[in-house]
Amino acid sequence: MAGEIVGLITDPGSSLNRERARERGVLMLDPEKPLEPQYQKFLEFYDRLLSLHASPKLCPMHDMAQQAANNLGQHLVSVVDTRLGSAGLGSAALAAADVLGRGGNEAAALAEVRRLARKGRFFLATHDLSRLTENKMISPLASRIGQALHLWAVLHLEEGRFRAAPRPLTKEQVLPHLAKLLERKFGDRRLKVRVLFGDLPKEVRDRAKETLADRLHIDSGALAPMDPTARARVGDHALAVFAYPLSN
């Protein structure tokens, strides 16, 4: 409705820093505490809440948030399956907050989230193949072969699922391959890029920035630690990249 003040909410699966997110207009849920009282507290300051979460196929937070919103009733909280994960979810939350901060309404913020889900590309590279097997993302046979050969897996998230079979690569091939995939998709379009890293040395993180900057036309970018919840799913030795164009 016109004139409503809408609060933008997400969860730690976005891998956003809580204080920096708040400065950008994004509030964070605490998954270790009941969600309904947290929503009630936020509603002391906002007319409505837009609560963005990763696909329920990737994380249970969406369904937990939906139950809490249902308990509140009165359509005060809109819980959204962004069909994104980690780096993509963080990007969507910040982009939606920017829309609201410029005076846009809830519909406009949600439209921007949907645009990122359609136009953006999310890739995950991980060396912890056993974690992928535990979470039914690759077969046990593929995991055993990959571990024996010290390979990494690169996966593509689409519509909330890791759809394509993982590409096995050596450590040296991972970053050039990710840059090539993004360059092939976006060409010379101006991009925003968010990179999340697990337990990777600084030299690898620096090389990731350099490789992407050399191959892509980056308008703005961020490099941040991966949330422990995401690391538990994909392993400590992992890198997630989400890129999207500035406009359609």
pLDDT tens per residue, the chain (248 residues)?
A: 557 899 999 999 899 999 999 999 999 999 999 999 999 999 999 999 999 998 887 788 999 999 999 999 878 999 999 999 889 999 999 999 999 999 999 999 999 999 999 999 999 999 888 887 887 777 888 888 888 888 898 988 876 677 656 778 999 999 999 999 999 999 999 999 999 999 999 999 999 999 999 999 999 999 999 988 788 888 889 999 999 999 86
User: Which of 118, 149, 178 represents a domain boundary (last residue)?
Assistant: 118
User: What pLDDT score does 160 carry?
Assistant: 67
At 71, which CATH number?
3.40.50.10170
Domains: count for the chain: 2
28 and 92 fall within a common domain = yes
Q: Are residues 173 and 57 in the same domain?
A: no
Residues near 23 by beta carbon (within 8 Å), at least 6 away in sequence: none
Same domain? 145 vs 229: yes
Q: Pick from 118, 148, 180: which residue ends a domain?
A: 118
SS (H, E, C) 43-88: CCCCCEEEEEECCCCCCCHHHHHHHHHHHHCCCCEEEEECCCCCHH
For the record, the structure tokens of 17 come out as 């820093």
Judgement on whether residues 182 and 155 belong to the same structural domain of the protein: yes
Q: What is the pLDDT of residue 147?
A: 85
Residues 131 and 50 in one domain: no
Are 81 and 178 in a shared domain? Answer: no
Q: Are the beta carbons of 84 and 92 closer than 8 angstroms?
A: yes
- Asked whether the whole model's pTM tops 0.85, one would answer yes
**CATH number assigned to the domain comprising residue 168:** 3.30.1180.10
- The answer to whether position 1 is within a domain reads no
Specify the pLDDT at position 11. Answer: 93
Cβ atoms of 93 and 117 within 8 Å: the answer is no
Pairing of strands 77-81, 238-245: unpaired
DSSP conformational letter for 13: G
Range of the domain at 77: 6-118
Strands of 87-230 (E only): list them: 121-126, 152-158, 161-162, 167-169, 190-197, 217-225
Clarify whether residues 239 and 187 are in a common domain.
Answer: yes
**Residues 73 and 142 grouped into a single domain:** no
Residue 155 covered by a domain: yes
Asked whether residue 147 falls in the same domain as residue 219, the answer is: yes
Residue 140 counted as domain residue: yes
The pLDDT of residue 163: 65
Which of 74, 94, 118 represents a domain boundary (last residue)?
A: 118
CA distance 173 to 169: 6
Same domain for 193 and 79: no
Shared domain for 108 and 159, answered yes or no, is no
Asked if residue 82 belongs to a domain, the reply is yes
Residues 239 and 131 in one domain: yes
Any domain includes 31: yes
Contact of 197 with 230, CB cutoff 8 Å: no
